[in-house]
Amino acid sequence: MIIAARIPDELKVRVGDLCEKDGKTISELIRELLQEYVEEKTEEWHRAKLRVKIPRNLLNQVDLFVEMGYALDRDHVISEALSLWLRLKKMEYKKNWKEELLEALGGQSQI
């Protein structure tokens, strides 16, 4: 990943003093700080908390599915099922959005 940043001259002096202590160049220090920031934000963006209640009879079916060797483990089956469900909901949302847009335009669009 390539990141470009412009640093004001007065800040370079302060950063330069810190770099001398650490034995790094200003570019190396800024690059490290920006990389840490990007990694932190990327992790934050990829995290999502999802709480799902699954009835016991479905969990029993999932466990049976795993025991028969059709899946790795319970978590894998549940995550794949949720992923599929979310993809279907996204497609449904896009379809509904397109229909609403066409209706609002009086069916005159070529979307």
Among 9-13, 60-64, 101-105, name the most confident range: 60-64
Please write the tens of the pLDDT for every residue from 54-71.
889 989 999 998 999 888
Q: Name the one residue in this structure whose structure tokens are 């029993």.
A: 60
Supply the pLDDT for residue 68. 92
Q: Is the pLDDT of residue 2 over 60?
A: no
Tokens of residue 19, six digits: 């770099």
Q: Specify the pTM.
A: 0.43
Q: What gap in Å lies between CA 74 and CA 56, rounded to an integer?
A: 13
